[in-house]
Amino acid sequence: MSERFHIVGISGSLRKHSHNTQLLHNAAALLPEDFRFTLADISVLPLPIRIWKVNCRSGEAVCRAAAFGEWLLISSPEYNGQLSGALKNALDWASRPALQTPLAQKPVALMGATPGMGGTGRAQVGIRSLLFALNMDSVNRPEFLLPQSHTKFDESGALTDPMAQQIMQQLVDNLVTKIKKHANEQ
């Protein structure tokens, strides 16, 4: 079956053995056959603070996602109770050009992993208000917070916690449903 839909994953962590990046790979394995998954490399995006006229370079997956209609799946760590600077920078890039952001109305789902006890709950509150500011169409349920993430994966990077697997499956299913509904309406 050819892949009709392309989901771009954004990990808010640039750490080599990131639990959030592992979570995205686990979620990608749950997608139906007609979906393709790309993990965006947001480490290449320079800080645009000095450039007012930021233009999405089509070479960057996160910009391509914004510009050419793909859908987003975000997994974020929690840094000092908020989202990471790398994730905010990536979404700022993808939010351009101003007032015509290609992110508007685009389905997006959110999850997060941390070795801490809070499961990135505080960060996700901030990220959801950012997605609202970007006028994105967020999957609001289930909320997927993964605490003590260092105990939840095996050596191969597979998620081992049954409750987390169940919630992630539900999140992926709800994102797929929203994407297909959007596609049928266009």
State which residue, 48 or 147, has the beta carbon closest to ligand FNR. 147
User: Three-state SS for 83?
Assistant: coil
From the CB of 23, what's the least distance to ligand FNR, in Å? 8
From the CB of 107, what's the least distance to ligand FNR, in Å? 23
The residue number with the shortest CB distance to ligand FNR is: 116
CA distances in angstroms from 54 to 51, 129, 136, 143, 180, listed in the order given: 6, 22, 20, 32, 31
Contact between 109 and 174 (Cβ < 8 Å): yes
- Let me know if 63 is exposed, middle or buried by CB neighbors in 10 A (0-12, 13-18, 19+): buried
**Which helix (H) or strand (E) is 10 found in, with range?**
strand 5-11
Contact footprint for ligand FNR (CB under 6 A): 13, 15, 18-20, 77-81, 113-116, 118
From the CB of 9, what's the least distance to ligand FNR, in Å? 12
Contact between 33 and 4 (Cβ < 8 Å): no
State which residue, 79 or 137, has the beta carbon closest to ligand FNR. 79
From the CB of 85, what's the least distance to ligand FNR, in Å? 9
State which residue, 65 or 113, has the beta carbon closest to ligand FNR. 113
Which of 115, 124, 116 lies closest to 144, judged by CA?
Answer: 124
State which residue, 81 or 97, has the beta carbon closest to ligand FNR. 81
State which residue, 101 or 114, has the beta carbon closest to ligand FNR. 114
From the CB of 22, what's the least distance to ligand FNR, in Å? 8
